[in-house]
Structure 1
């Protein structure tokens, strides 16, 4: 048994222990003991163990820590959701299982990723269709979700098109930028980037119009990172930053919702009883938890904070488990990002390298944007904390991205 496998098994045992302790604790919160909580914990242990066994048994060469780290985050998310509302946890468990199935299916059934580099037009069409879908649906139906037009409702089914649009955008940029060749003439050099630039600008405008500022920041972060990796030219990065600054000022001057977000961010305490209430209560929850937390199920954040199961679940974690535990989760996100970026170095295929960078950046940006908003480092944007917040669209897209990263590591 090699050292890596031994380490994987040790971490898996710790995950099982964490899972059983969390859900046993949740069961003890009820009188009589809530056996349903313990059953969910046992089911999670079985799913995680079996998934790791399948990947390790049939594809032993790849990076198994992607699945391990994502499993830790999913376990914590489902446990916290059960503490908030058991119905959320049951639904999230179903989405997590579907996500892991998609993850394994990608690794088992997908051929070598380099064969997908030639489908640039398909990725572009998917991006151009998915990005404005929420906006069009919102304008036609008049339906807004928490003030944003980023959801589509089809009978009992609802989803965020922009979540799937992130996947399409990364694949499109990877397939478009692999053809970039440095030219001595600036005009010829820039001509290669016009089409990707227009697609990205279209995506960003759609997100701003939908009032989905979180996705705007994520898409921008992904695009600039992939551009720099593909071209190695800082001038393009600074050009993008300059244009984004102009665009941000323009959006601030035109859109009232952008002005409100910035206004609340600059002084949330001034608006603590109305528009800033959510942020202020989140800060109170974080302060209440201190370093070690008040204990699972003993905090008040879920009763006081709107969208505590999605946008503000990290504040609930800080209150119940404490800042030490919360920092530990942030370290796991960093390790997940690191393992993803690491995969770009194990393959010689340029398309796979850019995809690895794009998906890793997607995970990092989404984590930093939502946590930064909760701590008022940046204006609050309503997005999910990857693999922890409640949401099927987010869970599926994250596991899809991780499945691609796993496939790249098997190369």
Structure 2
């Protein structure tokens, strides 16, 4: 009963936050922007419909997952509306599509265990998606990771992440500790090649952020599947060697590292994003300048890559830390669902999806604070992006389904 009350309290707080943000945005403009209030109401309606459908027809699953996702999406759409109302409307459309995909997948998928046998399908899908941008891609902000078809653009790596996780889950589910290096090699060589192929494609596309995410997913799933630290150490060593070779071979990798080491020395060129993001965060302080009182226009790519800097400027570091806590709880609930199921495929799939979200958050926030080189990826469910929104709700549907099985 306590869990249900906690779910209700969190849902009420989500409604209050949604309306508070959009009403505040509305009254900041002269004359009052009624469209902002309408958008807040529409978002609340979608939240209500989603909660009713999930609770009525699928009462056994973890309801915190969808509520956390909606809470993050509300924050994202409000900030995007403050930056550019037209982009916020597009994000609302992608949010709606994501919700529909989430509900459809939860309703259609009978039992995830039945999908473990399609390893070759997942392998082919991964092999198709990962090099797609190299063949058909267009360079955007220095990375060739976008494909445009008929005026619509998408990032193949966003969908490649899903097939990559599911493939590794199906490939590693039958792993058995033979205490024999040769027999272990026979079980692991194929997924190892797929991991290296995927990372190689991403480095060639200059999509270093996604490469870090894929590596984080692979090493997490490998450790959970085998339980052997030596394999993690070997994988990490190979990654370090590969990174060193990439640094020596590819100029764009060297450039990213040099900018990361001294962004102020490149503040008028390649380091402009990092420097402006740090200025924005520092000007907000602990409690922010207030919604509508900051200067997000000085922050490049403020609707996607550096939206966290905008949030910290106007809402403060305390609010930013709160967002990070929500992501941590999201990751925790996913991992909790993984260890409540007995089926190895479902368990590895859940761990992979949870690691995917956690790695993406760490990579982009680490880049914004210059802890690691800044890479052009989205902050899950908050940054603008249709490909990212759809892939996240797909992952969320898998987590929801497995939480029901548990």
Could you say which residue in structure 2 is the equivalent of 1:24?
Answer: 23
Structure 1's unaligned 5+ residue stretches are none
Could you say which residue in structure 2 is the equivalent of 1:407?
Answer: 401
Give the secondary structure class of the aligned counterpart of 2:370.
coil
Q: Any idea what the Cα deviations from partners look like across 1:177-226, whole Å, max 9, x if unmatched? A: 01111113211111210000001100000000000000000000000100
Could you say which residue in structure 2 is the equivalent of 1:379?
Answer: 373
Could you say which residue in structure 2 is the equivalent of 1:117?
Answer: 116
Could you say which residue in structure 1 is the equivalent of 2:81?
Answer: 82
2:219 to 218, 224, 243: 224
Could you say which residue in structure 2 is the equivalent of 1:292?
Answer: 287
Q: Alpha-carbon deviation of 1:39?
A: 0.5
Q: Alpha-carbon deviation of 1:146?
A: 1.1
Equivalent residues in 2 for 1:323-342, closer than 5 Å: 323-342=317-336
State the distance in 2 between where 1:344 and 1:7 align: 21
Confirm or deny: 8 A CA contact 2:130 2:157 kept in the other structure: yes
Confirm or deny: 8 A CA contact 1:24 1:38 kept in the other structure: yes
Confirm or deny: 8 A CA contact 1:12 1:49 kept in the other structure: no
Query: After the TM superposition, which of the residue ranges 153-162 and 181-190 deviates more from structure 2?
Result: 181-190
State the distance in 2 between where 1:3 and 1:107 align: 25
State the distance in 1 between where 2:28 and 2:310 align: 17
Normalising to structure 1: TM-score of the pair?
Answer: 0.98
2:202 to 207, 232, 237: 207
Q: Alpha-carbon deviation of 1:261?
A: 0.5
State the distance in 1 between where 2:263 and 2:142 align: 19
1:274 to 269, 273, 285: 269
Equivalent residues in 2 for 1:49-128, closer than 5 Å: 49-128=48-127
Could you say which residue in structure 1 is the equivalent of 2:14?
Answer: 15
Q: Alpha-carbon deviation of 1:106?
A: 1.3
Give the secondary structure class of the aligned counterpart of 1:193.
helix
State the distance in 1 between where 2:307 and 2:352 align: 25
Equivalent residues in 2 for 1:236-275, closer than 5 Å: 236-275=231-270
Normalising to structure 2: TM-score of the pair?
Answer: 0.99
Confirm or deny: 8 A CA contact 2:277 2:299 kept in the other structure: yes
Count, aligned residues: 405
Equivalent residues in 2 for 1:306-325, closer than 5 Å: 306-325=300-319
Could you say which residue in structure 1 is the equivalent of 2:43?
Answer: 44
Confirm or deny: 8 A CA contact 1:137 1:149 kept in the other structure: no
Q: Alpha-carbon deviation of 1:155?
A: 1.1
State the distance in 2 between where 1:219 and 1:296 align: 35
Q: Alpha-carbon deviation of 1:8?
A: 1.2
Could you say which residue in structure 2 is the equivalent of 1:131?
Answer: 130
Confirm or deny: 8 A CA contact 2:276 2:300 kept in the other structure: no
Moved beyond 6 Å, runs of 4+: none
State the distance in 2 between where 1:206 and 1:339 align: 32
**C-alpha root-mean-square deviation of aligned residues, in Å?**
0.8
Confirm or deny: 8 A CA contact 1:159 1:393 kept in the other structure: yes
Are 2:164 and 1:174 equivalent residues in the alignment? no
Q: Alpha-carbon deviation of 1:103?
A: 0.9
State the distance in 2 between where 1:206 and 1:62 align: 36
Q: Alpha-carbon deviation of 1:285?
A: 0.4
Could you say which residue in structure 2 is the equivalent of 1:357?
Answer: 351
State the distance in 2 between where 1:313 and 1:288 align: 15
Confirm or deny: 8 A CA contact 2:143 2:207 kept in the other structure: yes
Q: Alpha-carbon deviation of 1:3?
A: 2.2
